[in-house]
Structures are given as structure tokens and as C-alpha cells.
Amino acid sequence: MTSKGFKTNELGERNNFAIEPKVYVDKTPRAGFTKYAETLNGRLAMIGFVSLIAVEVITGHGLIGWLTNL
């Protein structure tokens, strides 16, 4: 039996030890060629490409011309 988070035995005595939570293990890989990593890399590449086009439109020079005029 349980009452308010405590377990009781057959005599009605309370067990004062904490009830252990269920262990959750995330088994998704965090390194390597995962779907998440590839999606993130693709999005960052798109942001970089659009930024490069914006720099060319604003300055009137390409990337190499913009970097060599510094």
C-alpha cells in the first residue's frame, strides 16, 4: 500500500525511505552524422549564403573584393 508517497507494510507501519524514481536514459546519439546535426549544418549554411548575398548587395562588391579592400 502507498499513502501520500510512503509505502506501508502489512502491519500498517510506514516505510520512511524515499520511493526511487524511474531511471530515464536517453539513447539518442549526440555525436556523428545524426539527423539533428545535418539539419543544423544545413540551416547554418543557408544563413551564411543569404548573409553573403546581403553583403554583396549592400557593398556592391563580392566576398573577395570586400575582404581585399580592408
pLDDT of residue 3: 52
Q: Give me the tens of pLDDT residue by residue for the chain, a chain 70 residues long.
A: 555 666 777 787 777 666 677 888 878 777 788 888 899 999 999 999 999 999 888 888 787 776 786 5
Cβ-contact 6, 16 below 8 angstroms: yes
Quote the pTM value: 0.50
The pLDDT of residue 39 is 93
Q: Give the model's pLDDT for residue 28.
A: 75
Look at residue 50 in the predicted model and tell me its pLDDT: 95
Q: Are 29 and 35 in contact (CB under 8 A)?
A: no
